[in-house]
Structure 1
Protein backbone atom coordinates (compact mmCIF):
# COMPACT_ATOMS: atom_id res chain seq x y z
CA UNK A 1 0.00 0.00 0.00
CA UNK A 2 1.20 3.45 -0.74
CA UNK A 3 1.83 5.99 1.96
CA UNK A 4 -1.06 8.23 0.84
CA UNK A 5 -3.51 5.30 1.01
CA UNK A 6 -2.39 4.48 4.55
CA UNK A 7 -2.77 8.10 5.66
CA UNK A 8 -6.27 8.27 4.09
CA UNK A 9 -7.29 5.11 5.96
CA UNK A 10 -5.94 6.47 9.26
CA UNK A 11 -7.74 9.77 8.69
CA UNK A 12 -11.04 8.01 7.91
CA UNK A 13 -10.65 5.84 11.02
CA UNK A 14 -10.04 8.95 13.14
CA UNK A 15 -13.13 10.67 11.70
CA UNK A 16 -15.32 7.61 12.35
CA UNK A 17 -14.05 7.34 15.94
CA UNK A 18 -14.63 11.05 16.53
CA UNK A 19 -18.20 10.86 15.24
CA UNK A 20 -18.85 7.76 17.36
CA UNK A 21 -17.49 9.52 20.47
CA UNK A 22 -19.69 12.57 19.80
CA UNK A 23 -22.78 10.39 19.41
CA UNK A 24 -21.94 8.48 22.58
CA UNK A 25 -21.48 11.74 24.51
CA UNK A 26 -24.77 13.10 23.15
CA UNK A 27 -26.53 9.93 24.33
CA UNK A 28 -25.11 10.39 27.85
CA UNK A 29 -26.11 14.06 27.97
CA UNK A 30 -29.67 13.20 26.86
CA UNK A 31 -29.87 10.44 29.49
CA UNK A 32 -28.59 12.79 32.20
CA UNK A 33 -31.12 15.48 31.22
CA UNK A 34 -33.96 12.93 31.41
CA UNK A 35 -32.80 11.81 34.85
CA UNK A 36 -32.67 15.40 36.12
CA UNK A 37 -36.16 16.08 34.73
CA UNK A 38 -37.53 12.97 36.47
CA UNK A 39 -35.90 13.99 39.74
CA UNK A 40 -37.41 17.49 39.51
CA UNK A 41 -40.86 16.07 38.77
CA UNK A 42 -40.58 13.62 41.67
CA UNK A 43 -39.51 16.38 44.05
CA UNK A 44 -42.35 18.64 42.93
CA UNK A 45 -44.82 15.78 43.39
CA UNK A 46 -43.90 15.52 47.06
CA UNK A 47 -45.65 18.86 47.68
CA UNK A 48 -43.47 20.06 50.53
CA UNK A 49 -43.10 16.67 52.22
CA UNK A 50 -39.37 16.82 51.62
CA UNK A 51 -37.44 18.98 54.05
CA UNK A 52 -33.75 19.70 53.97
CA UNK A 53 -31.83 20.31 57.15
CA UNK A 54 -28.34 21.57 57.70
CA UNK A 55 -26.47 19.53 60.24
CA UNK A 56 -22.93 20.16 61.32
CA UNK A 57 -21.80 17.29 63.46
CA UNK A 58 -18.57 18.85 64.66
CA UNK A 59 -17.29 22.42 64.42
CA UNK A 60 -14.65 22.88 61.77
CA UNK A 61 -11.13 23.34 63.08
CA UNK A 62 -7.87 24.24 61.36
CA UNK A 63 -4.34 23.38 62.37
CA UNK A 64 -1.82 26.19 62.84
CA UNK A 65 -0.13 25.17 59.58
CA UNK A 66 -3.43 25.59 57.72
CA UNK A 67 -3.93 29.00 59.35
CA UNK A 68 -0.46 30.10 58.26
CA UNK A 69 -1.12 28.84 54.74
CA UNK A 70 -4.45 30.71 54.63
CA UNK A 71 -2.81 33.97 55.73
CA UNK A 72 -0.18 33.62 53.00
CA UNK A 73 -2.74 32.72 50.33
CA UNK A 74 -5.11 35.58 51.16
CA UNK A 75 -2.40 38.24 50.85
CA UNK A 76 -3.11 40.29 47.77
CA UNK A 77 -6.87 39.84 48.05
CA UNK A 78 -9.43 42.12 49.65
CA UNK A 79 -10.16 39.51 52.33
CA UNK A 80 -8.72 40.40 55.72
CA UNK A 81 -7.32 37.56 57.86
CA UNK A 82 -7.10 37.79 61.66
CA UNK A 83 -5.46 35.41 64.09
CA UNK A 84 -6.57 35.80 67.72
CA UNK A 85 -7.87 39.33 67.00
CA UNK A 86 -4.76 40.64 65.16
CA UNK A 87 -4.84 41.25 61.41
CA UNK A 88 -1.97 39.86 59.31
CA UNK A 89 -0.84 40.27 55.72
CA UNK A 90 2.24 38.37 54.61
CA UNK A 91 3.62 38.61 51.10
CA UNK A 92 5.85 35.53 50.72
CA UNK A 93 7.62 37.09 47.71
CA UNK A 94 8.46 40.39 49.43
CA UNK A 95 9.28 39.11 52.93
CA UNK A 96 10.15 35.41 53.13
CA UNK A 97 11.02 35.60 56.83
CA UNK A 98 7.70 37.11 57.97
CA UNK A 99 5.77 34.90 60.35
CA UNK A 100 2.42 34.74 62.08
CA UNK A 101 2.49 33.79 65.78
CA UNK A 102 0.58 30.50 65.52
CA UNK A 103 1.27 27.12 67.05
CA UNK A 104 1.62 24.81 64.05
CA UNK A 105 0.13 21.86 65.94
CA UNK A 106 -2.55 23.95 67.68
CA UNK A 107 -6.25 23.97 66.81
CA UNK A 108 -7.94 27.12 65.53
CA UNK A 109 -11.65 27.77 65.08
CA UNK A 110 -12.44 29.76 61.92
CA UNK A 111 -15.05 32.49 61.79
CA UNK A 112 -16.12 33.68 58.35
CA UNK A 113 -17.56 37.22 58.24
CA UNK A 114 -19.69 38.00 55.19
CA UNK A 115 -21.66 41.02 54.01
CA UNK A 116 -25.36 41.10 53.13
CA UNK A 117 -24.76 39.67 49.65
CA UNK A 118 -22.74 36.72 50.99
CA UNK A 119 -19.36 38.08 49.88
CA UNK A 120 -16.53 37.01 52.21
CA UNK A 121 -14.97 40.05 53.93
CA UNK A 122 -12.87 38.60 56.73
CA UNK A 123 -11.64 35.31 58.17
CA UNK A 124 -10.88 35.22 61.88
CA UNK A 125 -9.05 32.31 63.51
CA UNK A 126 -9.36 31.80 67.27
CA UNK A 127 -7.03 29.49 69.22
CA UNK A 128 -8.69 26.47 70.80
CA UNK A 129 -7.51 25.02 74.10
CA UNK A 130 -6.63 21.51 72.80
CA UNK A 131 -3.87 20.24 70.52
CA UNK A 132 -4.02 17.96 67.50
CA UNK A 133 -3.61 14.33 68.52
Structure 2
Protein backbone atom coordinates (compact mmCIF):
# COMPACT_ATOMS: atom_id res chain seq x y z
CA UNK A 1 0.00 0.00 0.00
CA UNK A 2 1.30 3.40 -0.83
CA UNK A 3 2.16 6.00 1.74
CA UNK A 4 -0.54 8.42 0.55
CA UNK A 5 -3.16 5.72 0.87
CA UNK A 6 -2.11 5.04 4.48
CA UNK A 7 -2.27 8.77 5.30
CA UNK A 8 -5.71 8.98 3.69
CA UNK A 9 -7.00 6.04 5.78
CA UNK A 10 -5.57 7.63 8.96
CA UNK A 11 -7.22 10.97 8.18
CA UNK A 12 -10.56 9.26 7.51
CA UNK A 13 -10.22 7.29 10.78
CA UNK A 14 -9.39 10.47 12.75
CA UNK A 15 -12.33 12.33 11.22
CA UNK A 16 -14.63 9.38 12.01
CA UNK A 17 -13.44 9.30 15.63
CA UNK A 18 -13.93 13.08 15.89
CA UNK A 19 -17.49 12.81 14.53
CA UNK A 20 -18.35 9.98 16.96
CA UNK A 21 -16.88 11.97 19.88
CA UNK A 22 -18.92 15.04 18.87
CA UNK A 23 -22.08 12.93 18.69
CA UNK A 24 -21.44 11.55 22.20
CA UNK A 25 -20.80 15.07 23.51
CA UNK A 26 -24.00 16.35 21.89
CA UNK A 27 -25.97 13.47 23.42
CA UNK A 28 -24.50 14.26 26.85
CA UNK A 29 -25.40 17.94 26.53
CA UNK A 30 -28.96 17.06 25.51
CA UNK A 31 -29.28 14.69 28.49
CA UNK A 32 -28.04 17.37 30.88
CA UNK A 33 -30.44 19.91 29.38
CA UNK A 34 -33.35 17.50 29.79
CA UNK A 35 -32.34 16.81 33.42
CA UNK A 36 -32.16 20.54 34.19
CA UNK A 37 -35.59 21.10 32.62
CA UNK A 38 -37.13 18.24 34.60
CA UNK A 39 -35.58 19.53 37.83
CA UNK A 40 -36.83 23.05 37.13
CA UNK A 41 -40.38 21.85 36.36
CA UNK A 42 -40.35 19.68 39.47
CA UNK A 43 -39.25 22.61 41.63
CA UNK A 44 -41.90 24.90 40.13
CA UNK A 45 -44.62 22.28 40.70
CA UNK A 46 -43.41 21.70 44.26
CA UNK A 47 -43.51 25.43 45.01
CA UNK A 48 -46.97 25.75 43.46
CA UNK A 49 -48.23 22.80 45.50
CA UNK A 50 -46.68 24.24 48.64
CA UNK A 51 -48.16 27.70 48.17
CA UNK A 52 -51.63 26.44 47.29
CA UNK A 53 -51.65 24.01 50.20
CA UNK A 54 -50.95 26.79 52.70
CA UNK A 55 -53.85 28.95 51.58
CA UNK A 56 -57.42 28.17 52.63
CA UNK A 57 -59.85 29.94 50.34
CA UNK A 58 -63.10 29.05 52.07
CA UNK A 59 -64.21 29.14 55.68
CA UNK A 60 -64.01 25.84 57.46
CA UNK A 61 -67.09 25.12 59.56
CA UNK A 62 -67.75 22.55 62.25
CA UNK A 63 -71.05 21.32 63.62
CA UNK A 64 -71.66 21.39 67.35
CA UNK A 65 -71.07 17.63 67.49
CA UNK A 66 -67.69 18.03 65.77
CA UNK A 67 -66.75 20.75 68.25
CA UNK A 68 -67.65 18.38 71.09
CA UNK A 69 -65.52 15.67 69.50
CA UNK A 70 -62.61 18.13 69.25
CA UNK A 71 -62.98 18.93 72.95
CA UNK A 72 -62.88 15.19 73.70
CA UNK A 73 -59.64 14.90 71.69
CA UNK A 74 -57.87 17.92 73.24
CA UNK A 75 -55.12 15.85 74.80
CA UNK A 76 -54.41 14.11 71.49
CA UNK A 77 -54.50 17.42 69.63
CA UNK A 78 -52.30 19.00 72.33
CA UNK A 79 -54.12 22.31 71.93
CA UNK A 80 -56.50 24.43 73.97
CA UNK A 81 -59.98 25.05 72.58
CA UNK A 82 -62.13 28.17 72.78
CA UNK A 83 -65.81 27.96 71.92
CA UNK A 84 -67.21 31.49 71.59
CA UNK A 85 -66.04 32.84 75.01
CA UNK A 86 -65.59 29.58 76.92
CA UNK A 87 -62.08 28.15 77.23
CA UNK A 88 -61.18 24.48 77.48
CA UNK A 89 -57.58 23.71 78.38
CA UNK A 90 -55.79 20.56 77.26
CA UNK A 91 -54.56 20.04 80.84
CA UNK A 92 -58.17 19.82 82.14
CA UNK A 93 -59.75 16.48 83.03
CA UNK A 94 -61.92 15.63 80.02
CA UNK A 95 -64.52 13.76 82.10
CA UNK A 96 -65.18 16.76 84.37
CA UNK A 97 -65.39 19.47 81.68
CA UNK A 98 -68.75 21.25 81.43
CA UNK A 99 -69.60 21.33 77.71
CA UNK A 100 -73.15 22.63 78.15
CA UNK A 101 -72.11 25.88 76.43
CA UNK A 102 -71.62 24.05 73.12
CA UNK A 103 -74.78 24.32 71.01
CA UNK A 104 -75.13 21.05 69.07
CA UNK A 105 -77.50 22.59 66.52
CA UNK A 106 -75.15 25.44 65.65
CA UNK A 107 -72.42 25.65 63.02
CA UNK A 108 -69.07 27.07 64.16
CA UNK A 109 -66.34 28.72 62.08
CA UNK A 110 -62.90 27.49 63.08
CA UNK A 111 -59.61 29.40 63.25
CA UNK A 112 -56.23 28.52 64.71
CA UNK A 113 -53.79 30.39 66.94
CA UNK A 114 -50.24 29.19 66.34
CA UNK A 115 -46.90 29.78 68.03
CA UNK A 116 -43.76 31.01 66.25
CA UNK A 117 -42.92 27.46 65.06
CA UNK A 118 -46.39 27.02 63.54
CA UNK A 119 -47.68 24.59 66.18
CA UNK A 120 -51.37 25.01 66.99
CA UNK A 121 -51.80 26.48 70.47
CA UNK A 122 -55.54 27.21 70.49
CA UNK A 123 -58.41 26.15 68.24
CA UNK A 124 -61.06 28.87 68.18
CA UNK A 125 -64.68 28.10 67.29
CA UNK A 126 -66.87 31.20 66.76
Tell me the TM-score normalised to structure 1 length.
Answer: 0.50
Distance 1:58 1:40, change over 3 A: farther
Equivalent residue, structure 1, for 2:40? 44
SS of the equivalent of 1:58 reads: coil
Deviations 1:20-40 (Å, cap 9, x if unpaired)?
A: xxxxxxxxxxxxxxxxxx999
Q: CA RMSD in A?
A: 3.6
Equivalent residue, structure 1, for 2:81? 81
- Structure 2 gaps of 5+ residues are 1-33
SS of the equivalent of 1:111 reads: strand
Equivalent residue, structure 2, for 1:99? 99
What is the Cα deviation at residue 91 of structure 1? 3.1
Deviations 1:32-78 (Å, cap 9, x if unpaired)?
A: xxxxxx99962415785986252544211000001111112104775
1:60 and 1:110 in contact (8 A); partners too:
yes
> Which structure has the larger Rg?
2
SS of the equivalent of 1:70 reads: helix
- Structure 1 gaps of 5+ residues are 1-37, 127-133
SS of the equivalent of 1:67 reads: helix
Deviations 1:58-105 (Å, cap 9, x if unpaired)?
A: 21100000111111210477521111022024634x43x832412212
Equivalent residue, structure 2, for 1:111? 111
The alignment covers a number of residue pairs equal to 87
